[in-house]
C-alpha cells in the first residue's frame, strides 16, 4: 500500500508534552480571568498568522470538488463527524478559493450511492455554493462511493471548457473502497490525455488507486492526520497549480459586459425587452434562449453568467467585482500597533465594546490614531482589509495608487 515513508509529520499524540497549566498564574486579586482572555487572544492570533505570504493570483481555473457522501463519512474521528467537519472546512475553502482565483469557477459534486450527483453548476457565485453546502447538514450518508463514475462525470463537465484555462478535480474521499462499473484505469488515462488535473484528499488511509490517479494526472494526494491538517491541505489547494501560474505575467485584454443592450441606455427600469437571443454557454444543451444575459462588448455574443471566455472572439469576459474581490491583496491595511492598555480610550472605535480590565492590550491605528479591541483588529486584518477609522476620514480614506 504505502509506497514511500518519507512522511515525517507528527501525529497529535506525538507532539511535545505541554504543561499548559504551569502558565496559569493568578493576578493580584487571585483571579485568572484576565489570563484566560489573554490566552484566547494569543491562540486566535496564532491561528491567523500562517496564511500570510506572497500571493499569486490565478486567473482562470475551473475546479470541481467531489465530496464523498458514503457511509464512511459518518465516522467521528474528525469532530463532530467527517462529513460535518468537511462541510465546515469547505465553506472556508470556497471563500479562500475565490479570493485567490477571482476569475475562476467552481462546481460541487456529491458521491452518493455509487453515483456522482451535481450539487452546483460550475460558476463564480460564492453565495450559491455556500447555500447549497448549508443544505447538506442533515443528509443521510449511506452506501459506497464510485470513484470511476465521479471521474467520468468530471470529464464530461470539464472537457468542453477552453484548454488554456486550468481544469481540475478535487476529491474528498473517506471510503477505502470504490464501486466501479468498469476499468477505472481507462478513465484515468482519458483524463490524463485531456489534461484534467485530479487531486485527492483522503480522510482515512492511503488508497492505491487514488495515489495513481493523482500521479498520472499531475495532481496532489494527501491523507488527513487531524482537522488542522485537513484544513491546511484544503487551503493549500486554493493556490493556483504551477501550470495555471505559467500563464501569468501578461496584460490580458478583457471585456466588462453591460447587462443592458447598449442601444437604449435610459433609466434602467424602463428598458424594453431585449430581442430574443441565444446564450453561447448553453448552446449545446439547446437551452438558454431569450432572457437576460451579458453581451460580449466585442462581438455581442450572449452569456448568462460571468466570468466567461467568449467562444466567438476569445475575449475574457468578467465583471468589475470579480476583479475587485482580490484588490485587498494589492492595498493591504497597515497593521495596527499593539499597545499596553492604560485607559487611552474607553471603548473600541469600531464595535463600541467597552475596554475593561481584561484588555491588557489594545490596538492603535498609526494613521487615524483610533483604538481598537483585539477582536476588531483581527477582523480588520484578516477579512475586512479596511480600517474603519481611516475609511471615514476625508484625508485618509484614499488608497488608490496615484495616477502619476
Partner 1 sequence: MADDDAPSDSSLLVIIVDTNPNQRYITEDPKVLTNCLDAVIAFANSHLMQKARNELAVIGCHFHKSEYLYPTPGKPLDVRQIDGQYELFTLVEKTIKMRLVNLIKSQPPEEKPGESLLAGAVAMALCFIAKFRREATPGLRITARILIVTGSSDTAAQYINYMNVFFTAQKQQVLIDVCSLDKHLSLLQQGCDITGGLYLKVPSLEGLLQYLLWVFLPETSERTKLVLPGRGRVDYRAACFCHRELLTIGYVCSVCLSVFCKFSPICTTCHTVFKIGGPLPIKPKKKKMKV
Task: Please report, as residue ranges, which positions from 284 to 313 form the binding site for Zn ion (by CB under 5 A).
Answer: 288, 296, 298-299, 301, 304, 310, 312-313
Select from 2-10, 217-225, 335-343, 386-394 the region that touches partner 1 (CB under 8 A): 386-394
List the one residue from 319, 358, 360, 367 that touches partner 1 (CB under 8 A).
319
d(CA 188, CA 318): 33
Q: Which residues contact 220 (CB under 8 A, 6 or more apart)?
A: 199, 200, 214, 236, 237
Select from 63-71, 80-88, 158-166, 280-288 the region that touches Zn ion (CB under 5 A): 280-288
Contacts 24+ apart (CB under 8 A), 79-87: 79/227, 82/174, 82/203, 83/139, 83/141, 84/137, 85/227, 85/230, 86/172, 86/203, 86/230, 87/133, 87/134, 87/136, 87/137
Q: Which residues contact 342 (CB under 8 A, 6 or more apart)?
A: none
Task: Please report, as residue ranges, which positions from 282 to 301 form the binding site for partner 1 (by CB under 8 A).
Answer: 297-301
Task: Please report, as residue ranges, which positions from 199 to 238 form the binding site for partner 1 (by CB under 8 A).
Answer: none
Closest CB 124 distance from Zn ion, rounded Å: 13
Task: Please report, as residue ranges, which positions from 118 to 157 form the binding site for Zn ion (by CB under 5 A).
Answer: none
66 to 95: interface string for partner 1, x by CB under 8 A = -----------------------------x
Helix (H, G, I), strand (E, B) or coil at 70: coil
Binding partner at 282 among partner 1, Zn ion, none, C-beta below 5 to 8 Å by kind: Zn ion
Select from 20-28, 168-176, 233-241, 390-398 the region that touches partner 1 (CB under 8 A): 390-398
Closest CB 46 distance from partner 1, rounded Å: 18
d(CA 194, CA 302): 27
Pairing of strands 337-340, 316-317: unpaired
Give the position of cell 486584518: 381
C-alpha cell at 66: 467531489
Number of residues that bind Zn ion (CB under 5 A): 25
Residue pair 175/86 in contact (Cβ under 8 Å)? The answer is no
55 binds Zn ion (CB under 5 A): no
Number of residues that bind partner 1 (CB under 8 A): 86
Task: Please report, as residue ranges, which positions from 317 to 356 form the binding site for Zn ion (by CB under 5 A).
Answer: 348, 350-351, 353
Cβ neighbours around 285 below 10 Å, total: 7
169 binds Zn ion (CB under 5 A): no
Closest CB 347 distance from partner 1, rounded Å: 4
Our measurement of the distance from residue 165's CA atom to the centroid of its chain's CA atoms, rounded to an integer in Å, reads: 18
Closest CB 331 distance from Zn ion, rounded Å: 12
| CA angle 247–251–255, rounded 5-degree value | 105
List the one residue from 254, 282, 341, 367 that touches partner 1 (CB under 8 A).
254
C-alpha cell at 322: 470579480
Task: Please report, as residue ranges, which positions from 335 to 364 form the binding site for partner 1 (by CB under 8 A).
Answer: 346-354
d(CA 135, CA 190): 33
Binding partner at 35 among Zn ion, partner 1, none, C-beta below 5 to 8 Å by kind: none
255 binds partner 1 (CB under 8 A): yes
Binding partner at 304 among Zn ion, partner 1, none, C-beta below 5 to 8 Å by kind: Zn ion
Please name which of 74, 12, 10 lies closest in space to residue 227, comparing C-alpha atoms: 12
Q: Which residues bind Zn ion (CB under 5 A)?
A: 279, 281-282, 288, 296, 298-299, 301, 304, 310, 312-313, 315, 348, 350-351, 353, 365, 367-368, 373, 376, 387, 389-390
Amino acid at each position: 500500500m504505502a509506497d514511500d515513508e518519507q512522511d515525517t509529520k507528527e501525529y497529535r499524540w506525538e507532539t511535545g508534552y505541554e504543561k499548559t497549566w504551569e502558565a496559569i498564574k493568578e493576578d493580584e486579586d487571585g483571579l485568572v480571568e484576565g489570563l484566560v482572555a489573554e490566552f484566547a487572544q494569543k491562540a486566535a492570533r496564532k491561528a491567523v498568522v500562517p496564511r500570510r505570504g506572497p500571493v499569486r493570483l490565478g486567473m482562470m481555473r475551473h475546479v470541481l470538488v467531489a465530496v464523498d457522501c458514503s457511509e464512511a463519512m459518518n465516522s467521528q474521528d474528525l469532530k463532530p463527524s467527517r462529513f460535518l467537519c468537511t462541510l465546515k472546512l469547505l465553506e472556508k475553502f470556497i471563500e479562500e478559493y475565490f479570493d485567490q482565483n477571482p476569475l475562476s469557477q467552481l462546481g460541487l459534486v456529491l458521491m452518493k450511492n455509487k453515483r456522482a450527483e451535481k450539487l452546483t453548476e460550475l460558476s463564480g457565485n460564492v453565495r450559491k455554493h455556500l447555500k447549497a453546502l448549508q443544505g447538506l447538514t442533515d443528509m443521510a450518508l449511506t452506501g459506497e462511493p464510485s470513484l470511476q463514475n465521479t471521474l467520468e462525470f468530471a470529464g464530461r463537465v470539464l472537457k468542453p471548457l477552453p484548454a488554456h484555462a486550468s481544469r481540475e478535480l478535487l476529491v474528498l474521499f473517506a471510503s477505502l473502497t470504490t464501486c466501479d462499473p468498469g476499468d477505472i484505469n481507462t478513465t484515468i488515462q482519458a483524463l490524463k490525455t485531456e489534461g484534467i488535473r485530479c487531486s485527492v484528499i483522503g480522510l482515512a488511509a492511503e488508497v492505491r488507486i487514488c495515489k495513481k490517479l493523482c500521479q498520472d494526472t499531475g495532481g496532489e494526494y494527501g491523507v488527513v492526520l487531524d482537522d488542522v491538517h485537513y484544513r491546511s491541505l484544503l487551503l493549500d489547494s486554493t493556490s493556483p497549480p504551477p501550470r495555471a501560474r505559467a500563464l501569468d505575467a501578461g496584460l490580458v485584454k478583457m471585456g466588462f459586459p453591460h447587462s443592458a443592450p447598449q442601444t437604449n441606455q435610459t433609466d434602467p427600469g424602463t428598458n424594453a425587452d431585449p430581442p430574443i437571443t441565444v446564450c453561447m454557454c448553453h448552446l449545446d444543451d439547446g437551452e438558454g434562449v431569450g432572457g437576460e444575459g451579458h453581451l460580449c462588448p466585442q462581438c455581442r455574443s450572449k452569456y448568462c453568467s460571468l466570468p466567461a471566455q467568449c467562444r466567438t472572439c476569445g475575449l475574457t469576459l468578467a465583471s468589475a467585482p470579480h476583479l475587485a474581490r482580490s484588490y485587498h491583496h494589492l492595498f493591504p491595511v497597515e497593521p495596527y500597533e499593539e499597545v499596553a492598555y492604560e485607559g487611552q480610550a474607553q471603548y473600541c472605535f469600531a464595535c463600541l465594546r467597552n475596554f475593561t480590565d481584561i484588555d491588557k492590550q489594545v490596538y492603535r491605528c498609526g494613521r487615524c490614531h483610533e483604538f481598537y479591541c483585539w477582536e476588531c483588529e483581527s477582523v480588520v486584518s484578516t477579512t475586512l482589509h479596511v480600517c474603519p477609522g481611516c475609511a471615514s476620514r476625508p484625508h485618509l480614506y484614499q488608497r488608490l495608487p496615484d495616477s502619476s
